Structure 1
Amino acid sequence: MSGSSRRLGEIAALVSAGAAVAGLLLGFFGLPTLVNSPTARTVTETVTATTTVTVTAAPVAVATPAPSTASQPSQLTPTPANRISLVNDLLPVAEEQGPYDRGPQKVNGQAYSTTLSSSCSVATWQLDRQYTTFTTTLGAADSTASDTKILLYVELDGVRKIERSMAVGSTLPVTLDLRGVFRITLGSMSCNSRHQENVGAWIDPVITKAP
């Protein structure tokens, strides 16, 4: 054998020995035998997560209106149109001895806001046969002396229908029929009294028309 052939044989033996050692090393470290194999495929696993969402509807609160606490307007009873006050609504057509005072007066311990009062007055109102009823309350003002009486009277068309002597601390309701009456006259007579505080009073005198 020539020297060249021996040389090649030694090199081949070294290469085989190196390959064997490399194989042992690869097997020892658990590395894959095939690297970059053309048949190798990379498999990517796709995981699809399914999430179930439960939506619970919140109960809808229905607001109930609270009762109003605002104060309600007072239900005032209006004065009917067919009721006419001889104090505020209808003026007399004639007055004698002096006019009546119109306004508040205290009678029998109670204050009244709508009165005709005087020591000495006679007044007449025109009714023209349009009214049916006359109502009032007779009395003597609380300023009247205890030993004095006030003469109060009502005349319908000149005919005296009622006459009363009123002392302090007393009252008398009066109702008269006015159907067919043309005029009404109210008299308060204490003309000779030495004290002007002796006062007769007509409390809330009203005439009423037929409805």
Structure 2
Amino acid sequence: MPGSSRRLGEIAALVSAGTAVAGLLLGFFGLPTLVNSPTARTVTETVTATATVTVTAARATVATPAPPAAGQSSQPAPTSADRISLVNDLLPVAEEQGPYDHGSQKVNGQIHPTTLSSSCSITTWQLDRQYTTFTATLGAADSTGPGSKVLLYVELDGVRKIERNMAVGSTVPVTLDLRGVFRITLGSMSCNSYHPEDVGSWIDPAITKAP
């Protein structure tokens, strides 16, 4: 029927117009167009996430040694024993016959920088019972004649503890206990010799004071 065909055409036109308006509205608001149409496309939104990484630098800490407390020294602690040289550190209280020469001396082919040397001397040091040990090496200076000997001895409070007749070319180490000793005497006796070059020597004579 002609009237029915025209009415169907008008309805189809209205549906097409409505569909177009809906498409425009969906496109305007940024929504994907879902139209069951051969030309319709599905739009997929891709979201890219950006990660922000914060790097914290580690700070190295160097330990600083604490300063010494008040009244303390930064120097190493002293040794437990106090060694006193009879050549350089302690003055004698008595000298008989003559003083010792202080300094270097050649004994048994070797030069020793710290010696007491004399052909005739009796010298006494006061210890005041404060020391524990006496050490030295006995010898005759290399100037001593080939057939000569020099008597060297040690007395503690007037008591002779050791004596040696020393010839050129030899040495003897000596260690004595000084505990309770008030005075020490070192004698070098070649006083009656006609050869002044005959010289007795005390190599590195020293006393030790315990803590």
- Write the letter of the residue equivalent to 2:139: G
Q: Go from structure 1 to structure 2 and tell me whether the alpha carbon gap of 1:210 and 1:81 turns closer, same or farther (over 3 Å shift).
A: closer
Q: Which residue of 2 aligns with 1:176?
A: 176
- Write the letter of the residue equivalent to 1:175: T
Runs of 4+ off more than 6 Å? 78-81
**Cα distance, 1:81 vs structure 2:** 6.8
Q: Does 1:85 align with 2:95?
A: no
Structure 1, 80-89 or 149-158: larger mean CA deviation: 80-89
Alignment of 1:3-22 (within 5 A): none
How much is the aligned-residue C-alpha RMSD, in angstroms? 1.4
- Write the letter of the residue equivalent to 1:106: K
**1:78-99 deviation line (CA, Å, top 9, x unaligned):** 9987100000000100000000
Q: Which residue of 1 aligns with 2:95?
A: 95
Q: Which residue of 1 aligns with 2:32?
A: none
Q: Which residue of 2 aligns with 1:110?
A: 110
**CA distance in structure 2 between the partners assigned to 1:83 and 1:170 by the alignment:** 26
What's the TM-score once normalised by structure 2's chain length?
A: 0.62
Q: Does 1:202 align with 2:202?
A: yes
Alignment of 1:83-162 (within 5 A): 83-162=83-162
Say if 2:118 and 2:200, in contact at 8 Å, map to a contact too. Answer: yes
Counterpart secondary structure, 1:198: coil
**CA distance in structure 1 between the partners assigned to 2:100 and 2:117 by the alignment:** 6
Say if 2:141 and 2:168, in contact at 8 Å, map to a contact too. Answer: yes
**CA distance in structure 1 between the partners assigned to 2:207 and 2:144 by the alignment:** 27
Counterpart secondary structure, 1:131: coil
**CA distance in structure 1 between the partners assigned to 2:162 and 2:174 by the alignment:** 9
**CA distance in structure 2 between the partners assigned to 1:132 and 1:96 by the alignment:** 25
What's the TM-score once normalised by structure 1's chain length?
A: 0.62
- Write the letter of the residue equivalent to 2:124: T
**CA distance in structure 2 between the partners assigned to 1:103 and 1:80 by the alignment:** 27
**CA distance in structure 2 between the partners assigned to 1:134 and 1:79 by the alignment:** 18
Structure 1, 183-192 or 80-89: larger mean CA deviation: 80-89
**Cα distance, 1:176 vs structure 2:** 0.1
Q: Which residue of 2 aligns with 1:166?
A: 166
Where does structure 1 lack aligned partners over 5 or more consecutive residues?
Answer: 1-77
Q: Go from structure 1 to structure 2 and tell me whether the alpha carbon gap of 1:142 and 1:133 turns closer, same or farther (over 3 Å shift).
A: same
Where does structure 2 lack aligned partners over 5 or more consecutive residues?
Answer: 1-77
Tell me which structure has the larger Cα radius of gyration: 1
Q: Which residue of 2 aligns with 1:191?
A: 191
**CA distance in structure 2 between the partners assigned to 1:161 and 1:103 by the alignment:** 25
**Cα distance, 1:195 vs structure 2:** 1.4
**CA distance in structure 2 between the partners assigned to 1:91 and 1:186 by the alignment:** 13
**Cα distance, 1:137 vs structure 2:** 0.1
Q: Go from structure 1 to structure 2 and tell me whether the alpha carbon gap of 1:187 and 1:79 turns closer, same or farther (over 3 Å shift).
A: farther
Q: Go from structure 1 to structure 2 and tell me whether the alpha carbon gap of 1:187 and 1:210 turns closer, same or farther (over 3 Å shift).
A: same
Counterpart secondary structure, 2:87: coil
**Cα distance, 1:196 vs structure 2:** 1.0
- Write the letter of the residue equivalent to 1:96: E
